[in-house]
Amino acid sequence: MDRLDAMQVLLAVVDEGSLSAGSRKLNAPLPSVSRKVAELERHLGTRLLIRTSRNIQLTDAGRDYVEAARQIVAQIQDAEQRASGEYDVPRGELTVTAMIGFSRLILVPLAADFLKDHPEITLNVLAMDRVVQLIDEHVDIGIRLGTLTDSSLYAVKVGEIELVTVASPDYLERKGRPNRPEDLADHDAVSYASMKNQWIYSHNGRTVEARPNIRLRANTAAVAVGAAVDGIGVTRMVTYQLADQLRSGKLAPILSDTDPVAAPVHLVYVRQGLLPLKVRAFLDWMAPRLRQRIKELHSLGQRAS
């Protein structure tokens, strides 16, 4: 029995959640995958998996063995990467995940220059509006907005993204400019996705609940931004979703004297053994540029119109 091969098969089964899913990931016949797991259990003299009709569960011995197997496989991968020169020159495939809007408006434009500076790296961008599990989904780096909940990840903070309230110059000319969050009760608004009718502000040291009249609700930020540009109403979004319109003057920030609601932005990654140079190169290159871009977004959101 090839124990390293058996470990990799076991990890694939555990990561994918079933024997059949593990076989698809490995592109191997299901009977072969099942046999290798069974051979490993016989070799160890203990049961690693509890098999059900739909999925698998780890036994206590299985959990301990899988943790050790991950470390062993990671160490071997490190040795192979060093031997192949991956630690001498940044090279190989690098998978990065971020929210869809952040990917389109910030990550990909920056990535164009990153790839020019690192010609031997291929970048896979996984744009998804959900939290991606880096280990389970084989992702090298995540860009996370909001409070971090997974303490096992290494994190590099690059700033805070703020919510900004905006309206088109045409709308403000027709409807007037709200000076306080309470004034929004007399204004039309554009909302999207899960945004609530109630907008929360901090003003003069107190929390204020504003209830604008929602005239249009869209299922994407891009549609909502377009509606606000067309003068349908006021809208409130994170600054990167509005950056182009703020720069062009198609939308103007309002209520800029309220305390901004901000979400921290982190680059997160898993470290198992020696950090691949492609990951270090991305972190070192991207972190200062994200910090600068976020500072620029802050100034856009605070700019008086």
Listed by start position, the domains of the chain span: 3-84, 92-305
| CATH of region 92-305 | 3.40.190.290
Pick the CATH number of 3-84 from 1.10.8.60, 1.10.10.10, 1.10.290.10, 1.10.3720.10: 1.10.10.10
φ and ψ at residue 159, rounded to 5 degrees: 145, -165
What pLDDT shows up at residue 204? 75
Q: What is the DSSP string of 19-50?
A: HHHHHHHHT--HHHHHHHHHHHHHHHTS--EE
Residue 38 burial (CB < 10 Å; 0-12/13-18/19+)? middle
pLDDT at 273: 63
Q: Alpha helices, DSSP H only, in the chain?
A: 3-16, 19-26, 30-44, 60-84, 100-102, 108-117, 169-175, 221-229, 243-248, 277-302
Q: What is the pTM for the complete model shown?
A: 0.66
Same fold, 3-84 and 92-305: no
Q: Closest Cα to residue 110, out of 292, 299, 301, 298?
A: 292
pLDDT reported for residue 302: 65
Give how far the C-alpha of residue 293 lies from the chain's centroid of Cα atoms, to the nearest Å: 17
Q: How far is CA 137 from CA 54, 125, 132, 134, in A?
A: 20, 13, 7, 5
What's the pLDDT score for residue 304? Answer: 40
Mean pLDDT for each consecutive 10-residue tract of the chain (305 residues)? 86 86 86 88 88 79 87 77 66 92 92 94 92 84 88 88 92 93 93 74 82 91 94 93 91 84 90 80 95 85 53
Predicted local distance difference test score (pLDDT) of residue 171 = 96
Structure tokens that stand for 27 in this block: 């592109």
